[in-house]
């Protein structure tokens, strides 16, 4: 059978195997590609587009229109970024087909939707300090009568700001990953890439306090505890990403911060703090674990702001 008459289902399955084996992508990336391509295949099936030769520009235009008008079960349209994730999966699928000599639509024919410039949400100095101190404020007010929970939550906040970790990187940490006698450790991050992150003195202090209170054998660094200070002994997992998100929302409210705060806000605050204090973009790229410098350039406007402040403060002061 000519390659361009191969079933799209078959080719997608081979592509996903390629991502898993040859490209060694993360489980999350593989899951996302599977989701986006499954949705595309289902749409193609409904229109009897079953072989790769039928997948032309006209079909792709129809799919883009469908994506743009698609509504979720909550009656919401897909954001442009989400639409682009679907298209990127298809483009990379077509790149793979060209690589293995299957005649198909040129991937460059699929253009991404224009999106608004990404906005970086970070905390200013005062808000950040209040957030980091919020677990101590809660403990003093007796809302949570549990020192181990206070120590854990304080350690989590300090670690996020100290390292700029992604929430998934934090929840995947084991106790053995961190040597508190050192001020750095290696994290396996997005794309299974290793990078070095650094611990502040205060982050080390609170992690040590938290671990001293632990009386369990759970290997994860951050775990659930019940209200009586006792670890849930049967649990062999760490806190979930969602648990960390709820934790940060809770302490943002305690700190009186009205804008939306997420674990990624602390990652942005980490990067912003470095840049505002003179770090160069390339160093911040490495500390964040970004593959491309273009990803880190979302912070460029922040450094521009800083330069403007310097200019206004120090330039031609005698004529002011």
Instruction: Please check whether residues 48 and 190 belong to one and the same domain.
Output: no
Check: CB of residue 93 under 8 Å from CB of residue 37.
yes
Instruction: Please check whether residues 254 and 151 belong to one and the same domain.
Output: yes
Instruction: Please check whether residues 82 and 177 belong to one and the same domain.
Output: no
Which member of 39, 190, 209, 306 is catalytic? 190
Contacts of 270 (CB under 8 A, 6+ apart): 160, 161, 162, 163, 164, 287, 288
Instruction: Please check whether residues 249 and 284 belong to one and the same domain.
Output: yes
315 is catalytic: no
d(CA 177, CA 222): 12
Q: Do the domain assignments include residue 175?
A: yes
d(CA 285, CA 211): 31
Q: Do the domain assignments include residue 138?
A: yes
Q: Do the domain assignments include residue 120?
A: no
190 is catalytic: yes
- Helix 80-99 with 8-21: angle, nearest 10 deg: 90
Which member of 64, 152, 267, 268 is catalytic? 267
In the chain, the largest separation of any two C-alpha atoms, in whole Å, equals 81
Domain that holds residue 13: 3-109
Instruction: Please check whether residues 152 and 96 belong to one and the same domain.
Output: no
Instruction: Please check whether residues 71 and 153 belong to one and the same domain.
Output: no
Instruction: Please check whether residues 103 and 136 belong to one and the same domain.
Output: no
195 is catalytic: no
pLDDT at 228: 57
pLDDT at 212: 92
pLDDT at 144: 41
91 is catalytic: no
47 is catalytic: no
pLDDT at 146: 52
Domain final residue, candidates 58, 77, 109: 109
pLDDT at 279: 84
Q: Do the domain assignments include residue 118?
A: no
Q: Do the domain assignments include residue 186?
A: yes
Q: Do the domain assignments include residue 264?
A: yes
CATH code for the domain of 92: 1.10.150.130
Instruction: Please check whether residues 103 and 180 belong to one and the same domain.
Output: no
290 is catalytic: yes
- Please give the model's pTM, rounded to 2 decimal places: 0.70
Q: Do the domain assignments include residue 260?
A: yes
pLDDT of the chain, 320 residues: tens digit per residue? 555 567 999 999 999 999 999 988 888 889 999 999 999 999 999 999 999 999 999 999 999 999 999 988 888 899 898 999 999 999 999 999 999 999 999 999 999 888 766 667 888 889 999 999 999 887 764 444 458 899 999 999 999 999 999 999 999 999 999 999 998 999 888 777 889 999 999 999 999 999 999 888 899 999 988 755 455 544 567 899 999 999 999 999 999 998 899 999 998 898 888 888 888 888 888 888 888 887 777 777 666 666 666 667 766 666 55
CA proximity to 153, closest of 219, 203, 92, 217: 203
Instruction: Please check whether residues 39 and 66 belong to one and the same domain.
Output: yes
Domains of the chain: total: 2
Q: Do the domain assignments include residue 319?
A: no
Instruction: Please check whether residues 46 and 157 belong to one and the same domain.
Output: no
Which member of 91, 166, 204, 268 is catalytic? 166
Instruction: Please check whether residues 91 and 177 belong to one and the same domain.
Output: no
Instruction: Please check whether residues 40 and 165 belong to one and the same domain.
Output: no
CATH code for the domain of 221: 1.10.443.10
Which member of 80, 209, 264, 306 is catalytic? 264
pLDDT at 282: 87
């Amino acid at each position: 059978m000519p390659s361009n008459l191969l079933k799209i289902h078959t080719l997608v399955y081979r592509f996903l195997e390629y991502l898993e084996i040859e490209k060694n992508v993360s489980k999350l990336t593989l899951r996302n590609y599977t989701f986006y391509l499954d949705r595309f295949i289902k749409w193609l099936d409904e229109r009897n587009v079953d072989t790769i030769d039928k997948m032309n520009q006209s079909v792709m235009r129809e799919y883009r229109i469908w994506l743009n008008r698609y509504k979720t079960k909550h009656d919401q349209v897909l954001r442009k970024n989400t639409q682009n994730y679907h298209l990127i999966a298809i483009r990379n699928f077509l790149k793979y087909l060209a690589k293995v000599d299957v005649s198909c639509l040129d991937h460059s024919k699929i253009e991404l939707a224009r999106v608004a410039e990404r906005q970086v949400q970070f905390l200013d100095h005062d808000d950040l300090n209040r957030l980091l101190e919020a677990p101590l404020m809660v403990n003093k007010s007796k809302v949570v009568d549990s020192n181990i929970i206070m120590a854990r939550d304080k350690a989590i906040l300090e670690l996020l700001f100290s390292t700029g970790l992604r929430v998934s990187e934090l929840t995947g940490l084991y106790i053995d990953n961190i040597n508190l006698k050192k001020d750095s450790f290696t994290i396996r991050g997005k794309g299974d890439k290793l990078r070095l992150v650094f611990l502040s003195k205060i982050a080390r202090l609170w992690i040590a306090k938290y671990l001293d209170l632990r009386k369990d054998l759970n290997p994860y660094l951050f775990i659930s505890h019940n209200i009586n200070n006792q670890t849930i002994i049967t649990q062999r997992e760490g806190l979930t990403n969602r648990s960390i998100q709820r934790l940060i929302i809770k302490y943002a409210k305690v700190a009186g911060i009205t804008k939306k705060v997420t674990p990624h806000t602390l990652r942005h605050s980490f990067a912003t703090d470095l840049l505002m204090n003179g770090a160069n973009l390339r160093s911040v790229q490495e500390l964040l674990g970004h593959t491309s410098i273009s990803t880190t350039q979302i912070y460029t406007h922040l450094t521009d702001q800083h330069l403007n402040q310097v200019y206004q403060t120090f330039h031609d002061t005698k004529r002011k």
